[in-house]
Amino acid sequence: MKEGADVKRGTPLAPGEGEETEMHRFLLATMICLSLLAPSGYALAGKDLDTVQARGTLICGVAAGGLAGFMMVDNEGKWRGIDVDVCRAVAAALFGDSEKVKYVPLSAQHRFTALQSGEVDVLSNNTTWTLTRDTALGLDFTGITYYDGQGFMVPKKLGVKSARELNGATICVPSGSTTELNIADYFRAMKMTFKPVIFEDIDQIRAAFFAGRCDVYTGDRARLYSTRAANSANPDDYEILPEIISKEPLGPAVRHGDNQFADIVKWAQYAMIEAEEYGITSNNVDEMLKSDNPTVKRLLGVTPGMGKALGVDERWVYNIVKQVGNYGEAFDRNLGAGSALKVDRGLNRLWSQGGLQYAPPIR
């Protein structure tokens, strides 16, 4: 069958008149199964999705103390950041309103318990996707919001230019994080020692480091840039060392078991990436509704079907882009050139621009 060919119910798909092929029987059986399983649409709601829809609000777990560029309360008491924008995108897809989100600050140690127990619906708080978290903790990571790696920040007055010079250093680390494990692996491999100063709360770590209780602040490099810009009295007094000691794919997680809810979170992220790829922005999305591009028409719901397949409104992508923006817009205003952080986009560029951000086709 040629791609894009129309298939009409009741029309033979045979090479000869009246002849029924194996493909025809397969398609007929598939349509019957779909009609039996999901009479109101292709996707079936699970218990988590049912709970969220009945509540009318998405509960999003963010990091206690915040992190500039990712999740932080602004001067008006509103949560801002690229991780916050993921939650807003999911709410836009579910409810048509990106503001229908409640944010719950969680410590690194408590965040997984909060998700497992149902205290929050989704974690979007700078969490690294690992095998054990994906399996032993019963979580589903839905995508990668930010590709990062762990590094080190030190006061310039120490005169340290490389992580290889940190033998015997005291290092502030968050409890219950991959950060702590990565440091142990790195120092063991380098045949060096260090003295961990462990805190549960990120605010305590920042205060201890800038007060001089630790020689080193460690974490994902974006976190280091964010902390230096937002929390130090003079950012020029601190040096971020060149070594990157780990892979840190950061993204949202949901409870294992509700596939449709996980799909909505996943495809809300992909929609932001795909919108950027096709040049759809919060400023031009209304004009793009008139586009003749078949992909753009599917994305924005002009050609229906994608919303039904996901179990949401056909204008779900339109609502995300109009209210939240595409991935590039979210990156720029929170972390990039449009922010105070001025973080280079690096690996988080689109795949077509030499980066790793890549969305499966919405079709």
Beta-strand relationship, 216-220 and 248-250: unpaired
pLDDT tens for residues 281-303? Answer: 999 999 999 999 999 999 999 99
Q: The tokens 């919060």 sit on which residue?
A: 282
Domains and CATH numbers, the chain: 149-247 (3.40.190.10)
Using one digit for the tens of pLDDT, what is the confidence trace for 306-348? 999 999 999 999 999 999 999 999 999 999 999 988 888 999 9
The pLDDT of residue 231 is 86
- The average pLDDT across 92-109 equals 96
Q: How many of the other CB atoms lie within 10 Å of CB of 37?
A: 10
φ/ψ (deg, to 5) at 58: -90, 130
Read off the pLDDT band of 109 (50, 70, 90): confident
Nearest-Å Rg of the Cα atoms of the chain is 23
pLDDT at 43 over 50: no
Residue 187: pLDDT above 60? yes
- Alpha carbons 91 and 101: distance in angstroms, whole number: 7
Q: How confident is the model over 228-265, as pLDDT tens digits?
A: 988 898 999 999 999 999 999 999 999 999 999 999 99
Kind and range of the H or E run holding 219: strand 216-220
Comparing 152 with 230, which gets the higher pLDDT?
Answer: 152
Between residues 191 and 138, which one has the greater pLDDT?
191
Instruction: Give the span between the Cα atoms of 32 and 37, in whole angstroms.
Output: 9
| Range of weakest confidence among 9-18, 67-76, 83-92, 307-316 | 9-18
- The answer to whether residues 172 and 197 touch, using CB atoms and an 8 Å cutoff, is yes
Q: What is the pTM of this model?
A: 0.80
User: Above 70 in pLDDT, residue 94?
Assistant: yes
Report the C-alpha gap between 28 and 21 in whole angstroms. Answer: 11
Report the C-alpha gap between 172 and 164 in whole angstroms: 17
If you average pLDDT over every residue of the chain, what do you get?
88
- Structural tokens at position 259: 């596939």
pLDDT reported for residue 58: 98
Considering only residues 341 and 168, tell me which one the structure prediction assigns the higher pLDDT.
Answer: 168
Instruction: Please report the pLDDT score of residue 2 as a whole number.
Output: 41
pLDDT > 70 fraction of the chain, expressed in percent and rounded:
88
pLDDT at 40: 42
**CA count, 13 A, side-chain hemisphere, 237:** 11
Residues 6+ apart with CB under 8 A from 156: 236, 237, 238, 239
Q: In the prediction, which pLDDT does 45 show?
A: 56
pLDDT at 107 over 80: yes
Between strands 150-155 and 238-240, the pairing is antiparallel
- Residue 82 has a pLDDT of 97
In order of 1, 66, 68, 83, 233, the CA distances from 230 in angstroms are 57, 11, 7, 17, 9
Name the band, by pLDDT with cuts 50, 70 and 90, for residue 15: very low
Q: Are 178 and 246 in contact (CB under 8 A)?
A: yes
Would you place residue 26 in the very low, low, confident or very high pLDDT band (cuts 50, 70, 90)?
very low
**Closest residue by Cα to residue 124 from 55, 70, 199:** 70
The pLDDT of residue 28: 43
